[in-house]
Every structure is written in structure tokens, then in C-alpha cells.
Structure 1
Amino acid sequence: MDVKDNLQHIMKRIEQSCEKVNRKSTEVKIIGVTKYVSIPRASEALAAGVIHLGENRVEEGLEKREALGDKAIWHFIGNLQSKKVKQMIDQFDYLHSLDRLSLAKEINKRAPHGTSIKCFVQINVSGEESKSGINPSDAIQFVTSLKQFEAIEVVGLMTMAPFVENKEETRPVFRKLKELKDTIEALQLPHAPCHELSMGMSNDYEVAVEEGATFIRIGSSLVGNES
């Protein structure tokens, strides 16, 4: 499996999805999810042109960051325990899983003075008990309440769609997140510009792109699985 070939294939499919809905493919950024692969494989992704890398465990992410440094833009995409914030706070560029006030409070406490942490608020659009995230009906109130934390910048919303054989079944989930993002963005909250949508993975990213995704999180289709 060649990462460069995989990337070209994915980019082609992104372009096709964008053409369907009159979007520019440059609006979509690929996060190479490297949680199941080695540092050399992650380095191969960088060499192929993937500059956004995503990890969902702090320790493994820090190992890769130490090895690869600032060559990548680092995204933390997994559930984050408050006790792990101190380790990751100045090592990752984006957090995709802000889902509770206690976590926001800890981020605010640990963030270097005068800095803001780019966060996606995780929304559980599908309502699955197995998934983390804010209930969509509580999202506006939650995002508004984050104003009290000066180190939090809500750059967008994130969700995970159900894993289903027919990817078309994910469309209502992505559409709902886009509508919610637009509603929050229209509020013009200084702490929550909310321009971005982190949604779509290897099995459903084309639908996510058609519904407005600006970041898609691609693991197995891009770098494979070495675990």
C-alpha cells in the first residue's frame, strides 16, 4: 500500500464530490489519522503531502510529534481525559473533542498565558450511546457558555456518523451538523467563529464533503493499519 497513491485516489474522489455540490476541493483538508501506524508510516504520509496528522491517544501522539516535530499540523481527535490536558496542551494544534465544561475549564487552566486553543465542539448528532458529544439541542447553549474561558476558541463542530454499509444513511447526520454550524456561526460570537466542520472518515468522507466538511479524518484508506 503506497500512501502517495492512496492520497491521489482520495483527492480525486474529493474533487468529484465537490463538483457535485459546486464546492472547491481546496476547501477540504485531509487529516491523516496515524493512530494505528508507526512513525515511519506517518513520516511517509508527510512526504506524500499530508500536512495534517491526527492522533487519539496522548502518549502515542506525543511520540510521533517528538519524532516528526513541526513538519505536521497536529490534531487530537480522540476523547480527552481532563488529567491528560497538561501533557497535550501545547503539543497539538487542534482539539476535536471538546464535549464538557470540566474539560474546557482544565484547558483554560493549562493553556499558556495569552494563547488560545483551537477547539471543535463534539456533537453527538446520531444520538448513539456509544459516542461522546453534546446533544444537538444543547449545542448553542454549550458553545455560548464557553465565553467564560478565554483560552478556548471554538473553530468549528465535529461529529462521528454511525458506521453503516450504505454511506448515504450518514447524510442526515452530516447535514444536521452543517445546519448547526451555520446557526452558531451566524451568532458571530467572538470566542466561537465556528467556520469549520470536522466530519467524515474513510467509509463516508465523500458524503461528508458533499454536506460541507472542511476537515475529513482519514486513516485506513490513506495510511492503512499496522496494528
Structure 2
Amino acid sequence: MEYGFVQQRVEEIRARVEEACRRSRRHPDGVRIVAVTKTATPDVLPALYAAGIRDVGENRWQMARDKLQHPAASQFVWHFIGTLQTNKVKYVAPRFHWIHSLDRPELAHALSEEAVRRGLVLNVLVQVNISGEAQKHGVAPEDAERLVRLARELPGLSLRGLMTMAPVASRPEDVRHVFAGLRTLLHDLRSRLSLEGFDQLSMGMSDDFEVAVEEGATMIRIGRRLVNP
């Protein structure tokens, strides 16, 4: 498949991020665009790299394998953003630099054990179900501290922040409270637990990333608007 359109898409996303940063008095350098490539073929990687993208996200190991074998794969920082089964940790841990979806103690232990076994340090984000939707993964906000405390103590893990997924909404403004809630939770946990380096907010996708940036997102996960024709 040809991905000549990617350059223009990246430029459009960057322009919108810059405008959102201007409105919220932030610097655009504080926002990392993670290109979600689950619907694309491995040939998208050179196009993304040429457009200046250096972060790629996948949400299933089975869909990531072919891309990780592409010659361009080593040029990227890889983010695992989907629900991670413990039996897939042995495949994901050595190939992904960031895990956005730490959502339960058993996964924290599995990631820690694999990281230690391989001599790695994995950047992890605790996934929080701010919206409370039954179909969404992530810990409840009131349970986030328990998982954060566990991840902080486990070897092989570098606890870096929080992640959430907002509900589908007809207007991005309708989910602003979700992003604001995650930001507030991160600041509260960082202050009360004296967490150094706990400053990453992974939130915002193709339809709502501008509101997420206004509310403090440091990573936005963009798929359809970047890689779909």
C-alpha cells in the first residue's frame, strides 16, 4: 500500500497540536505523537519516519509482529497501548519501550519478572478507567494508588504516569472532564507519594486529541487520522 498521504496528515496533526498548546499556554515539544498503526501495513513505517514521527503504538502483539520485523522498526520507540495478557508479556517486554496499559497487579508482576530476567527497564503507565464505563479496561480511580504503589516498588519497571481512554462522544468537549480527571489524579498521586518522573499523561485519540492536549496530555495516540487513506 502507498502511504504518500502520511506527510500531509502528520503536518495537519502537528498544526492542530500547536494550536491547542497555544490555547493552553503549553509548548508543543511537550506533546509526543504516537502513531497507532494497527490498521496499517508495515510499509507505513518508512513514511512515518520520513514525516518525523518517532513513536509507534500497537495494541495487539499478533498485529505488531510483522511491523517489528520491518527494517525500519528499529528507528522507532515502540508503545504497547492495548490490553496485555500475561501470557504475551514474554513477547512484548523485549520489543516495546513503553507499556501504556498496566491495569492489574498480576500484569505488574509479570512485566517485572520478564524485565528482570532480560535485564530491561520498562516504562509503564497505569491505565485508569476515569469514565467508569463497564467495557473499558483500567483500574478505578480510587484503586489507582494501590497499583501505583505496587509498580513503584517492583524491579524492572519505571513508573512514568497514567493512561486513559475517553468514551466515544459526539463532541470532544463532552469528554474534557475525563482528561481533566486524569490530570488531577496524576498530580495528586505525584504529590502525595513523592513520585519522581511520574509526569506522563497518555490520553487523547483521533477525535478528541486537541481537548486532551489542552488538559495536559504528554502523549496522544493517533491512528485513523494519520494512517488511514
Q: TM-score range by the shorter chain?
A: over 0.9
- Once residues 156 and 34 of structure 1 are traced to their aligned partners in structure 2, the CA distance between those partners, rounded to angstroms, is 23
| Structure 2 Cα separation of the partners of residues 188 and 58 of structure 1 | 34
- What does residue 49 of structure 1 align with? 52
Aligned to 2:141: 136
Amino acid at match of 1:128: E
Trace 1:56-205 onto structure 2 (pairs within 5 A). 56-67=59-70, 68-113=72-117, 114-186=119-191, 187-189=193-195, 193-205=197-209
Q: For 1:135, give the aligned amino acid.
A: A
Deviates more, 1:14-23 or 1:146-155: 146-155
* Residues 42 and 223, structure 1, Cα contact 8 Å, conserved in 2: no
CA contact (8 A) 2:45 2:73 kept: no
| TM superposition shift of 1:5 | 0.5
Deviation at 1:62, TM superposition (A): 2.5
Mapped partners of 2:154, 2:116: distance in 1: 13
Residues 183-206 of structure 1 show CA distances to partners (whole Å, capped at 9, x for unaligned) of 12222236xx32100000000000
Aligned-partner residue type, residue 212 of structure 2: A
- Tell me how far apart the structure 2 counterparts of residues 142 and 57 of structure 1 sit (CA, whole Å): 23
Amino acid paired to 1:202: S
- Measured after TM superposition, the shift of residue 171 of structure 1 is 0.3
Q: 2:152, 2:159 within 8 Å by CA — same for their partners in 1? A: no
Return 5+ residue gaps in structure 2 as ranges: none
TM-score in terms of structure 1 length? 0.94
Alpha-carbon shift at residue 149 of structure 1 (Å): 1.4
Report the TM-score when normalising by structure 2: 0.93
Alignment-derived partner of residue 30 in structure 1: 33
Q: Kindly state the Cα deviation for residue 18 of structure 1 after the two structures are TM-superposed.
A: 0.6
SS at match of 1:64: helix
**Aligned-pair distance for 1:112?**
4.0
Listed one character per residue, the Cα deviations across residues 77-125 of structure 1 (whole Å, up to 9, x for unaligned) are 1100000000111100000000000001111111144432100100000
- Per-residue CA deviations over 1:162-194 (Å, capped at 9, x if unaligned) read 01111101100000000011112222236xx32
How big is the alpha-carbon RMSD for the aligned residues of Structure 1 and Structure 2? 1.3
SS of 1:97's equivalent?
Answer: strand
> Counterpart of 1:124 in 2: which secondary structure?
coil
- Kept in 1, the 8 Å contact 2:77–2:97? The answer is yes
- SS of the residue corresponding to residue 162 of structure 2 reads strand
Aligned counterpart, 1:15: 18
Q: Where do 5+ consecutive residues of structure 1 fail to align?
A: none
**Following TM superposition, by how much is the alpha carbon of 1:153 offset from its aligned partner in structure 2, in angstroms?**
1.4
The one-character-per-residue Cα deviations of 1:58-79 (angstroms, maximum 9, x if unpaired) are 1221221111231111000110
Bigger mean CA offset, 30-39 vs 110-119: 110-119
Aligned residues: 223
Q: Percent same amino acid among aligned pairs? A: 39
